[in-house]
């Protein structure tokens, strides 16, 4: 009898965990299929505000120096000066996609974003990776709900592929 109750409890817990896993998606993403496997991809490109959040945490929480923060500023071909870029947070461009990032900057952001969201238990299994414009193009061809924007090759999007149970869904 005890074993039956224990079995029922375990089955119940498993069911609950599965339901929870299905309901939780990484922040900013929507579900998509990539070669038959379920992934989560950014619904919108990373915005200036997302980038400011990143820089703010590096500066105020991780205590990076000003010189280190400067290395994470986008290409000055897109923004004339660091000051101009910083002022975007006060105008209507704050929600527009950030552009002019190099590969190192993009990867650093994805790593930070993973660590940051993983601090919340429900997101503990999610790891963001940078998705290239070509990969995203391919993903769009497989998923009608995904949309490309005009300057898609210049923006940053992330994808979450390797999380618990992803392969079988």
Partner 1 sequence: MARFTITQTQASDSWFWECTNNPSINGFARSKKEARQRARENCRDGEANITPPPVDYIVVDGVMTEFTFENLVGDEVTFYASEIPEDIFLYVFGYDKTDSDLLSKEDVIIAILKIWGVFKSGGTDVLANHNLSEAQGDILFESTWQSIILEISDDETEYSWTFNGR
Q: Which positions touch partner 1 (CB under 8 A)?
A: 27-28, 42-44, 46-47, 49-50, 52-54, 56-57, 60, 89-90, 113, 116-117, 119-120, 123, 158
User: What is the residue whose two structure tokens read 């929480």?
Assistant: 61
* Shortest Å distance, C-beta 22 to partner 1: 19
Pick the closer one to partner 1 by CB: 34 or 59. 59
* Minimum distance from residue 157 beta carbon to partner 1 (Å): 10
In the complex, minimum distance from the CB of residue 94 to partner 1, in angstroms, rounded to a whole number: 9
Burial class (CB in 10 A: 0-12, 13-18, 19+), 143: middle
- DSSP alpha helix (H) spans, the chain: 2-23, 48-60, 66-70, 82-87, 103-118, 133-142
Distance CA 128, CA 130 (A): 7
Residue 120 or 169 with smaller CB distance to partner 1: 120
The string of DSSP codes covering 17-44 is HHHHHHH---TTEEEEEETTEEEEEESS
Pick the closer one to partner 1 by CB: 79 or 112: 112
Nearer to partner 1, 35 or 92 (CB): 92
């Amino acid at each position: 009898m005890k074993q039956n109750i224990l079995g029922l409890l375990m089955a119940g817990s498993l069911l609950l965990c599965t339901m929870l896993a299905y309901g939780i998606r990484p922040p900013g993403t929507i579900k998509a299929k990539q070669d038959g496997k379920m992934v989560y991809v950014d619904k919108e490109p990373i915005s200036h505000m997302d980038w400011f959040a990143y820089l703010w945490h590096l500066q105020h929480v991780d205590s990076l120096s000003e010189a280190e923060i400067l290395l994470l500023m986008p290409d000055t071909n897109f923004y004339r000066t660091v000051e101009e870029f910083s002022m975007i947070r006060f105008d209507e461009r704050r929600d527009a996609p950030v552009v002019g990032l190099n590969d190192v900057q993009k990867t650093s952001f994805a790593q930070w974003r993973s660590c940051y969201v993983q601090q919340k238990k429900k997101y503990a299994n999610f790891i963001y990776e940078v998705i290239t414009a070509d990969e995203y193009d391919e993903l769009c061809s497989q998923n009608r709900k995904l949309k490309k924007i005009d300057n898609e090759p210049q923006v940053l999007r992330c994808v979450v592929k390797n999380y618990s149970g992803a392969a079988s869904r």
